[in-house]
């Protein structure tokens, strides 16, 4: 499954936005999706989450429940950290 979350279009902020992101990652089909721009059943077992934030799109592929739980706990910084790691920083 692939979901696209447009944080730039979100009218909520702070702790609410963090909880909303975590809930969307945990239940991509069963959550009130305030900022979800797209949900696509791509037939893959992993969850692909693309987060649009500050004009950029950051994407994570979550392959197991441990990765889902980790990103839920860390929130949006997980997307930025993953990009720095993949870029070799």
Global pTM? Answer: 0.84
pLDDT at 9: 84
Ordered strands of the 2-6 beta sheet: 36-40, 2-6, 47-53, 56-62
83 — pLDDT class (breaks 50, 70, 90): low
Residue 76 backbone phi and psi in degrees, to 5: -60, -30
- Determine the average pLDDT of the residues in 38-59: 92
For β-strands 47-53 and 56-62, DSSP reports them as antiparallel
Query: Cα separation of 14 and 60, whole Å?
Result: 21
Residue with the larger pLDDT of the pair 74 and 86: 74
Q: Is the pLDDT of residue 39 over 50?
A: yes
């Amino acid at each position: 499954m692939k979901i696209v979350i447009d944080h730039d279009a979100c009218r909520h902020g702070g702790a609410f936005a963090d909880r909303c992101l975590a809930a969307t990652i945990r239940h991509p089909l069963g959550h009130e999706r305030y900022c979800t721009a797209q949900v696509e059943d791509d037939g893959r077992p992993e969850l692909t989450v693309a987060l649009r934030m500050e004009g950029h799109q950051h994407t994570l592929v979550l392959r197991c429940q441990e990765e889902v739980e980790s990103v839920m706990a860390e929130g949006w910084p997980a997307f930025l950290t993953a990009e720095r790691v993949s870029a070799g920083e």
